Amino acid sequence: MDRVRIDKWLWAARFFKTRALASRACDLGRIESNGADAKPARDVRIGDMLRIKNAGGEFQIEVLGLSEMRGPASTAQKLYQESDASREMRMKLAEERKAMPHFEATREGKPSKRDRREIGRLRGRT
């Protein structure tokens, strides 16, 4: 096997939970292969440079192996190598997110009768 569809590879490398999500990310332009936007059917080859934007952050990786089958995480991590700059940037952003104040809801439980009336007024139900 010398090439694999990019959506299958992203799913097998565990960047996305399902192949449909990987395909959708390609369609939305969140995946770049060697500097160009990648469509789901684009082939991935060993040595390709990919830029992947997902919920975990932005990854810049080099493809080291190919697989069409999803396996354990330890096997998936051997399919690619993340650049040091990418890893440092993700760690920096994670630290910034942790430092941001976390807002919690002031009320707990279900709304009171007064709150329900206010919600009804806001929704246009008098």
Please give the model's pTM, rounded to 2 decimal places. 0.76
Q: Which pair of tokens denotes residue 48?
A: 């390709």
The count of C-alpha atoms lying within 13 angstroms of the C-alpha of 66, restricted to the half-sphere facing its C-beta, is: 13
Share of the chain above pLDDT 90, in %: 75
pLDDT (tens digit per residue) in 28-81: 999 999 999 999 999 999 999 999 998 888 999 999 999 999 999 999 999 999
Q: Where are the domains of the chain?
A: 4-87
- How distant, in Å, are the alpha carbons of 3, 66, 92, 106, 113 from that of 11? 15, 11, 26, 39, 48
Question: What is the chain's mean pLDDT, rounded?
Answer: 91
CA–CA separation, 7 and 78 (whole Å): 17
Q: Name which CATH class applies to 4-87.
A: alpha beta
Q: Which pair of tokens denotes residue 52?
A: 């992947």
CA–CA separation, 2 and 45 (whole Å): 6
